[in-house]
Amino acid sequence: MSLEIQNLHVRVEDREILRGLDLNVAQGETHALMGPNGSGKSTLANTIMGNPNYEVTEGKIVLDGEDLTEADPDERARAGLFMAFQYPATIPGVSVANFLRTAVNAGREEAIKVKEFGQLMRRNMELLRIDPDFTRRYLNEGFSGGEKKRAEILQLAMLAPRFAVLDETDSGLDVDALRVVSDGVNALRGEERGFLVITHYTRILRYVRPEFVHVMLDGRIVREGGPELADDLEEKGYDWVREEVAASAA
């Protein structure tokens, strides 16, 4: 089972952002997608989840053989896709627990029983080491950056998707919050779930160690390798990749 991105071209208004991108993430694998600001990383994440502001002009998004290129976001979620946003939304008046129960029910034919939901939530909160009082607060209202990301990781645990896209989850986190979020992601890794970790820094990859690293420039993946590639980027930055790409095109 895999999430396949095939020759993807994406336009926003009159500007082409993705220019023939290919990527394959299998269940049980953790991939890191790296690149400087403006390379198209978040465009890919939003396109995978069906954001209508991003127009696919060519190519496909395929999940386990099912073409989701034209599917609505809720259809993609029910098919097993999940995205943790760089800037999660605040929902005043809606507790974390009520939000999670609504999200869980959206993917089920029958609503989850109150007792079953409570057991599931407690189990995941213990796994992620989250205080029970956390779920009584309104979603992201007054939350620190780390608390917002922790809420998303709890949502990931509750929904148990087959593939999770983490769009710059490390953005704005201090070292302690980064460790908490990374520990949560690592607790949820396994053969039943694939991860695509999108970042332009290597610091989260010190804690969430990927099997595969992809480098993105100007809307394409231009270099691929193992975790040592992230170490090279930490040491040398992206200029050496740009120079390699320019030399190969000459």
pLDDT tens column, 23-47: 999 999 999 999 988 899 999 999 9
Backbone angles phi, psi at 71, to 5 degrees: -75, 150
Q: Residue 37: what pLDDT?
A: 87
User: Percentage of the chain surpassing pLDDT 70?
Assistant: 99
Mark out the alpha helices in 11-59 (DSSP H runs).
41-48
Q: What is the average pLDDT across 168-195?
A: 86
Q: Residue 107: what pLDDT?
A: 82
pLDDT tens column, 121-177: 999 998 888 888 999 999 999 988 788 888 888 999 999 999 999 988 887 788 888
Backbone angles phi, psi at 108, to 5 degrees: -120, 150
Q: What is the pTM of this model?
A: 0.91
Q: How confident is the model at residue 10 (pLDDT cuts 50, 70, 90)?
A: very high
Query: 183, exposed or middle or buried, with CB in 10 Å at 0-12, 13-18, 19+?
Result: middle
Residue 236: C-alpha distances to residues 65, 156, 211, 233 (Å): 38, 34, 20, 5
CATH of domain 2-89+163-249: 3.40.50.300
Q: Diameter of the chain by CA atoms?
A: 64
pLDDT tens column, 59-101: 999 999 999 999 999 999 999 999 987 777 888 999 999 999 9
Is residue 4 pLDDT above 80, yes or no? yes
The amino acid at 200: H
